[in-house]
Structures are given as structure tokens and as C-alpha cells.
Amino acid sequence: MIGYGFMGRAHSNAYRKVNQFFDLGYEPVLQAACARNGKKLKTFADNWGWKSYETDWRKLVARDDIDAIDISSPNNTHLDIALAAAAAGKMILCEKPLAMNAQEGKAMTDAVEKAGVANMVWFNYRRVPAIALARQIVEKGNLGKVFHYRAKYLQDWTISPKVPQGGAALWRLDIDVAGSGVTGDLLAHSIDTAIWLNGPLTSVCAMTETFIKERQLQDEPGKTKPVKIDDACAFLARFKNGSLGTFESTRYARGRKNQNTFEINGENASVCFDLEDAHRLGYFDHNDQKGLHGWRSILVTDFEHPYMDRWWVPGCVIGYEHTFINALADFLKGLESDKKLCPDFKDALETQYVCDAVLSSAKNGQWETIK
């Protein structure tokens, strides 16, 4: 595994737990962790039980005792690592967004396809049981014709102009490392979920804003640098199935810490979800008995709900970290069958095309068609 930040911890936890909760033919071995800062890396590796560590990712990729590479490092490192790992015949589990832009994402997708290596992207929210239940409801056709898809992804941690950019944790604010702001970081999640639940988007029209134009550099005290990322982004979309979409994301919604929501309105029923109330799925069924119509709030913890037979007894909720364990279990199970693993690089590339179209629409003020 390359990287030891927030995602390095979430993924390490998944590797350690997955076989305790799922019956799988494969068992991950925590063979080596990799990052540039050897001292911090050792502390991290010892804490999570990684057997060894490397400070140069090229050495890690060259090791023949390693079958899979997990890319948990910042976005500007994904391309080179993925190309090298694919060429070395390793499986790849890559953190989202797939790449800095679609051009990089396409090169990565071509490389894994050419090498024929198993690959996935950690769009963990697909593995929230309530979201997976929404997918089952959509697949059963309960919604009927879909008219509207509405998504929001709101946070508030960059409102202070004192928050610096760059360096560990704050690389998300640095365009050269992140590739974009909320579009790649947050809307990529919303778009991935939307494509999964409602099919492909065909065109978008977006606006973005950078509220704080200049920030101090975390690693060079006293120096500042212009901020080039999108702090906020809102876009309209058309879906292939004829429905209309609205998407909004910001890191300036005071009070919203990680509010990831969607609502789908169909002719027969609607579903809605809010990550801040993650174990519940809202469902409205127009076919309910007259006079008893109303939104149900389904507590998604029963054994028949997605993933929940693997966890506790009904009523006992699971959390954020479990979505990564569920995702890893699906990946490992996929290795045992011919079924396409998803979301893989190809799926994530679709999301990347939408992100690119959103950013260029925001620049040129025009509707953009999705490739």
C-alpha cells in the first residue's frame, strides 16, 4: 500500500478485518507499506501490522513478493504508479478520483486492460447498505420512469482563510496535486453513485467558484500561492434515461461536515439518502394504500439488506469504515468469479469524463457533451 493518510488507515483497516466478516477464498497479506517519510511510515506500519516498508514506490512495485498495489497516495501520483504496477502485472486498488483528469484516467484504464490485471477504485459509498438497497429498488423497477436525480455533497472545513494549502492532508487544496477541488474530490462520489443508480449522464452545464483566492503554503511558512481549485461547484445534467439532474458541492456550507445526499423521483416511487443518517433509506411508494401515503424511513440493518447479514443483529448499525470492508470483500469475491469487478478503472473513467466536462463547462459557460 502506498500512502498512509486518511485513506491509508481506512484501507489498512479493511485489509485486516475483511476475512473476519466475509467468507472469501482470498486473504490479503499486509506485506509492505510505502511512503516518503520513513519515520512516520514506520509508526504507521507498526500500528496497522504491515510486515515491512519501503520509502520508494518503484522499489515496492518491483518486489516479487507483492501481488496487489493499493494506491492511497495523492491524486498526482496515481498515473505513474498505476502504469508501473500494471506493467509489473500487479492487481491495483486505487483511491478515488481515478486520476487528475480523464486523459490520465484513460491511460491508466488502457494499461490495466492491456495487462489484464484485476483493478478497482475505492468508491466506498456504493457499499453503504442503504445506497446498495436503493440500487436494488431501482433494479427491480419500482421507481418506474425516472424524472429527477438530485445530489448534494457539502462540507465546511475550508471556510477559514487561515487554512493553508499543500502538504500532508491539505494537498486537496493544491491544484497541482489534486487536479481539481470539490469536483474531483466530492462530486466524483456523487457522480459515481448517480451513474450506478440512474445510468450515464449525457451533458452538463456547470458553474464553479473559488472563494479564497490565495492561501499560505503549509510546507513553506510565510509564502502564499494562488488557489486554483474549485471551492464550490454546481451543475445541471441530462441523463441518458431522459431524467434531469442537479448536483451541488462545496466546502463552504457552514455546519455541513460530510453531507452526501441524493433523491431520485420516479413516476411510481422515490428514494432519498443522506450520509449523515447513513443507515436509513427514504422511500415513497405511490402504490401504497390511499390515505396511508408517506415517506418511509427504512432502517437498513436487517439480514436481508445488502451486506448486513455479515455484520451484527438487526438494529445494530455499522459505520463509515465498514463501507471499505464491504468494498474490499466485493473485490476479493470478484476475483473468484468471472463477474466484472466494479467499480473498476473503466467505471471510474466514466466519472472522470463527467468531471472534466463539468470543469470545462464552468470555464466556457456552455453545455458540454459527455464523451
Residues contributing to the site for ligand SOE (CB under 6 A): 6, 155, 185, 258
Choice between 32 and 81, CB closer to ligand SOE:
81
Shortest CB 242 distance to ligand SOE, Å: 30
Cα angle for residues 37, 42, 44 (degrees, 5° grid): 95
Contacts of 142 (CB under 8 A, 6+ apart): 266, 268, 269, 285
Q: Give the number of other Cβ atoms within 10 Å of residue 122's Cβ.
A: 25
Choice between 53 and 196, CB closer to ligand SOE:
196
Residues 333 and 313: their CA atoms lie apart, in Å, by 23
| C-alpha cell belonging to residue 110 | 488502457
Shortest CB 258 distance to ligand SOE, Å: 5
Choice between 137 and 182, CB closer to ligand SOE:
182
Contacts of 146 (CB under 8 A, 6+ apart): 198, 239, 241, 242, 243, 264, 265, 266
Shortest CB 73 distance to ligand SOE, Å: 13
Choice between 31 and 259, CB closer to ligand SOE:
259
Choice between 119 and 155, CB closer to ligand SOE:
155
What per-residue string of b and e applies to 18-48 under the rule 16 or more CB within 10 Å gives b? bbeebebebebeebbbbbeeeeebeebbeeb
Choice between 53 and 153, CB closer to ligand SOE:
153
Burial of 69 from C-beta contacts in 10 A (0-12 / 13-18 / 19+): buried
Cα angle for residues 70, 73, 79 (degrees, 5° grid): 80
Shortest CB 221 distance to ligand SOE, Å: 23
Choice between 9 and 63, CB closer to ligand SOE:
9
Nearest residue by C-beta to ligand SOE?
185
Shortest CB 138 distance to ligand SOE, Å: 22
Q: Give the number of other Cβ atoms within 10 Å of residue 50's Cβ.
A: 22
Contacts of 159 (CB under 8 A, 6+ apart): 251, 252, 254
Shortest CB 275 distance to ligand SOE, Å: 9
Instruction: Identify the DSSP state of 276.
Output: G
What is the four-CA torsion angle of 124, 127, 130, 132, rounded to 10 degrees?
Answer: 120
Shortest CB 185 distance to ligand SOE, Å: 5
| C-alpha cell belonging to residue 311 | 455484520
Shortest CB 59 distance to ligand SOE, Å: 27
Choice between 52 and 258, CB closer to ligand SOE:
258
